[in-house]
């Protein structure tokens, strides 16, 4: 289980996240919503240990990981799928998945066959280098790389960005499968429809502050939320 308490992230004098708190339990999916610049990426990057936290606390299964490097955070069971995937372009699909296995630490990595069962296209392309894959395939590889670490919680930063509608639809199905297998999911999204297809509850951010939280279907029904933050 992931617990975030009063997370504050700053860049110099700019406060990007003003005290975010959230909990993601096993098999639960929460969406972090908001327009460009709302502070979503800063939040998940700070939770994952990629950028510094000004204050606040992040814990996984009750163990404090605040301020720990990303390599430690992933070993504790939290895997980030970064916004622009950040794959090693010259690694093959299989090399990418094998390299990620160290992140599983004592939990034991997932067998590659399990990743290939979820993404049959990656099995077909296992010897192809990441840089030559389509955008959708790269996103699948980025998710596969996170899943190999056998995470307790996965953070997905706008997995739909720049992808065609059909690809997004299959990604939605995959994220649901991951959630239903008992992994907690924190999904960053700008698109309410995609978020609703995956998450039960959401937190809406605006200029780094939480402005609403509640069930996704209520957020969808509130014109005030749609108009203010998703116009
Ligand atoms: P997007 O959907 O565009 O990624 P976001 O909701 O993820 O937006 P962030 O990228 O977290 O928002 O940005 C939050 C705020 O922090 C913005 O005002 C942004 O300009 C600022 N910011 C983000 N990264 C940096 C940085 N490296 N240096 C300075 N300011 C930054």
Kindly give, in sequence order, each residue whose CB lies less than 8 Å from that of residue 100, ignoring residues fewer than 6 positions away.
Answer: 109, 145, 146, 148, 149
Burial class (CB in 10 A: 0-12, 13-18, 19+), 32: buried
**How confident is the model at residue 85, as a pLDDT?**
75
Please indicate whether residue 56, judged by its CB atom, sits closer than 6 Å to ligand 1: no
Euclidean distance between CA atoms 127 and 54, whole angstroms: 42
CATH code of residue 85: 3.40.50.300
Q: How many domains does the chain have?
A: 1
DSSP-derived secondary structure letter, 109? P
> Which atom, in ligand 1's list, is nearest to the CA of 190?
2
**How confident is the model at residue 231, as a pLDDT?**
63
Ligand 1 centroid to Cα of residue 28, in Å, is 26
Stretches where the chain sits below pLDDT 50 are none
Ligand 1 centroid to Cα of residue 121, in Å, is 33
| Domain residue limits at 102 | 2-229
Its pTM stands at 0.94
Ligand 1 centroid to Cα of residue 107, in Å, is 33
**How confident is the model at residue 86, as a pLDDT?**
83
**How confident is the model at residue 23, as a pLDDT?**
97
């Amino acid at each position: 289980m992931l617990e975030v308490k009063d997370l504050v992230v700053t860049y110099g004098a700019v406060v990007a996240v003003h005290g975010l708190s959230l909990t993601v339990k096993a098999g639960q999916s929460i969406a972090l919503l908001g327009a460009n610049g709302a502070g979503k990426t800063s939040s998940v990057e700070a939770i994952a240990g990629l950028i510094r936290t000004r204050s606040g606390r992040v814990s996984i299964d009750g163990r404090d990981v605040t301020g720990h490097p990303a390599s430690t955070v992933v070993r504790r069971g939290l895997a980030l799928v970064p916004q622009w995937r950040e794959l090693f372009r010259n690694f093959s699909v299989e090399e990418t998945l094998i390299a990620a296995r160290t992140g599983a630490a004592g939990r034991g990595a997932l067998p590659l066959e399990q990743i290939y069962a979820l993404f049959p296209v990656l099995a077909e392309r296992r010897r192809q280098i990441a840089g030559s894959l389509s955008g959708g395939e790269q996103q699948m590889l980025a998710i596969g790389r996170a899943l190999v670490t056998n995470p307790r919680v996965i953070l997905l930063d706008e997995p739909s960005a720049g992808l065609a509608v059909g690809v997004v639809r299959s990604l939605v199905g995959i994220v649901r499968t991951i959630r239903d297998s008992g992994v907690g999911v924190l999904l960053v999204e700008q698109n309410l429809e995609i978020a609703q297809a995956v998450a039960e509850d959401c937190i809406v951010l605006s200029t780094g502050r939480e402005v609403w939280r509640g069930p996704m279907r209520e957020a969808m029904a509130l014109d005030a939320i749609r108009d203010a933050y998703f116009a």
